[in-house]
């Protein structure tokens, strides 16, 4: 409670100065670099620093304008493999560019997301990266645009990663990947194997990512002059359990299909297990495909045919474009390509 010094807290620059017999400015200068300081003084200061195990308070430096820049990363749940991949990309690139990396899971709670972004604005982070699909409603656009403006006026930057864009004029960087195109290619591939009735295990009806993939599924059919049976279109979410549940549902309903396309690999994993549990052979009895190409896809049995999404690259790109933006460069909107990777879970129909 006295003037302070040996508290549980680290020592201050003044403590170091006192011990070295110089002023605080001098300590700052020998630590800071470029200003000329005599060798004798420098030595004394450095010794004091070592003896006190001193490290300058990064928050104070930040206030003074020379802090470590930081960037924030907010997602629904780091536990999902594709999220983890993106997180990895973000984190790598961030530290490569000398930035710290704050992370927050929203657990899908919009309010938490809002609160967190406000906190990040207070932290003066260089950028806030929002990742993961969501419903593309007018309300979403308006809310997100407000966030973007607010962040921009604080000198920060909003990045949407795999999220619906906001339309022109919003100070936002958008990095997307092609959901519709990927699904189109994948379903076209399945159709080309002779399958006619393809069960689609989709996500939430309003979820933008889910919609994109569903559109691809439909478009691929139409391109062949086919009109898929609406019964074959099931909706759930992007989890393993959803896939498992939906697959059992389809089986119990005795729907007719020779192939299953799942909206994500996680969904496919759940579906695959359900098929196995029902004693069905994949791809002998039923073919199966996923979407995302998470690392585990190749260790499923049979190895899963799926659509590769460059998630890690997505993350890297997000921070690179967000940080690399020059003062008034135009707002960027990137659309990354996807491609189907053929493995063993799809067979040609024999008949």
Q: Rule CB under 7 A: which residues touch DNA?
A: 4, 9-10, 12-14, 21-29, 31-32, 35-38, 40-42, 56-57, 60-61, 63-66
Residue 231 contacts residue 255 (beta carbons within 8 Å)? yes
Q: Quick one: 147 exposed, middle or buried, by C-beta within 10 A (0-12, 13-18, 19+)?
A: buried
Task: With CB under 8 A as the rule, give the number of residues binding a second copy.
Answer: 57
**152-185 CB burial, b ≥16 within 10 A, e <16:** eeeebbbbbbbbbbbeeebbbbbbbbbbbbbbbb
* Residue 7 found at the interface with a second copy (CB under 8 A): yes
Angular region, 227: left φ>0, alpha ψ -120 to 50, beta rest = beta
Residue placing its CB nearer to a second copy in the complex, 34 or 53: 53
Residue placing its CB nearer to a second copy in the complex, 231 or 277: 277
Instruction: Measure Cα distances from 325 to 8, 157, 276, 319, 320 in Å.
Output: 42, 10, 50, 10, 8
Among 30, 49, 104, 160, the residue binding a second copy under the rule CB under 8 A is 104
* Residue 193 found at the interface with a second copy (CB under 8 A): no
* Residue 247 found at the interface with a second copy (CB under 8 A): no
Per DSSP bridges, beta strands 287-289 and 259-262 are parallel
* Residue 81 found at the interface with a second copy (CB under 8 A): yes
**Nearest distance from residue 223's CB to a second copy, in Å?**
32
**Nearest distance from residue 327's CB to DNA, in Å?**
19
Q: Which does 196 bind (CB under 5 to 8 A by kind): DNA, a second copy, none?
A: none
* Residue 342 found at the interface with a second copy (CB under 8 A): no
**Nearest distance from residue 48's CB to a second copy, in Å?**
15
Q: Spell out, one character per residue from 37 to 66, where the chain touches a second copy: x when CB under 8 A holds, - when not.
A: ----------------x-xxxxxx-xx---
The DSSP symbol for 201 reads E
* Residue 348 found at the interface with a second copy (CB under 8 A): no
Instruction: Measure Cα distances from 51 to 32, 39, 160 in Å.
Output: 18, 18, 47
* Beta-bridge partner residues of 127: 71
Angle, helices 265-277 vs 240-252, to 10°: value is: 40
Q: Which does 88 bind (CB under 5 to 8 A by kind): DNA, a second copy, none?
A: a second copy
Residues of span 305-324 touching a second copy by CB under 8 A: none
How far apart are the C-alpha atoms of 45 and 55, rounded to whole Å?
13
Residue placing its CB nearer to DNA in the complex, 20 or 101: 20
Instruction: Give the count of beta carbons closer than 10 Å to the beta carbon of residue 273.
Output: 16
Q: Which does 193 bind (CB under 5 to 8 A by kind): DNA, a second copy, none?
A: none
* Beta-bridge partner residues of 172: 158
The sheet that has 259-262: what strands, in order across it? 233-235, 198-202, 259-262, 287-289
**Nearest distance from residue 322's CB to DNA, in Å?**
22
HSE (side-chain half, CA atoms, 13 Å) at 275:
27
* Residue 103 found at the interface with a second copy (CB under 8 A): yes
Residues lying near a second copy in the complex (CB under 8 A) are found at 7-10, 53, 55-60, 62-63, 67-68, 77-79, 81, 84-85, 87-88, 91-92, 95, 100-105, 107, 112, 118-119, 121-124, 150, 153-155, 240, 269-270, 272-273, 276, 295-296, 298-301, 303
């Amino acid at each position: 409670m006295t003037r302070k010094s040996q508290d549980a807290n680290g020592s201050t620059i003044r403590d170091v100065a006192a011990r070295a017999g110089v002023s605080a400015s001098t300590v700052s200068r020998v630590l800071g670099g470029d200003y000329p300081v005599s060798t004798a003084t420098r030595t004394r200061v450095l010794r004091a620093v070592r003896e006190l195990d001193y490290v300058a308070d990064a928050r104070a430096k930040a206030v003074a304008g020379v802090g470590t820049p930081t960037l924030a990363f907010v997602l629904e749940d780091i536990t999902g493999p594709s999220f983890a991949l993106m997180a990895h990309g973000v984190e790598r690139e961030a530290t490569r560019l000398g930035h710290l990396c704050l992370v927050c899971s929203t657990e899908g709670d919009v309010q938490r997301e809002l609160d967190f972004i406000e906190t990040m604005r207070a932290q003066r982070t260089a950028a806030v990266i929002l990742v993961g699909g969501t419903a593309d409603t007018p309300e979403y656009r308006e809310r997100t645009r407000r966030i973007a403006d607010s962040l921009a006026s604080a000198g920060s930057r909003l990045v949407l990663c795999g999220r619906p864009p906001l339309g022109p004029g919003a100070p936002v960087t958008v990095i997307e990947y092609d959901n519709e195109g990927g699904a189109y290619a994948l379903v076209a591939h399945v159709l080309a194997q002779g399958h006619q009735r393809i069960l689609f295990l989709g996500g939430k009806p309003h979820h933008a990512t889910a919609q994109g993939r569903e559109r691809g599924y439909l478009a691929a059919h139409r391109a062949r002059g086919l009109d898929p049976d609406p019964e074959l279109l099931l909706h759930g979410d992007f989890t393993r359990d959803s896939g498992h549940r939906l697959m059992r549902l389809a089986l119990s309903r005795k729907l007719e299909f020779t192939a299953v396309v799942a909206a994500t690999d996680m969904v496919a994993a759940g579906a695959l297990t359900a098929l196995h549990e029902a004693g069905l052979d994949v791809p002998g009895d039923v073919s199966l495909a996923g979407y995302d190409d998470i690392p585990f896809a190749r260790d499923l049995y049979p190895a899963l045919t799926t659509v590769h999404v460059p998630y890690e690259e997505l993350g890297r790109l997000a921070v690179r474009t967000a940080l690399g933006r020059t003062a008034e460069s135009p707002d960027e909107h990137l659309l990354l390509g996807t491609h189907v990777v053929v493995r063993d879970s799809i067979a040609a129909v024999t008949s």
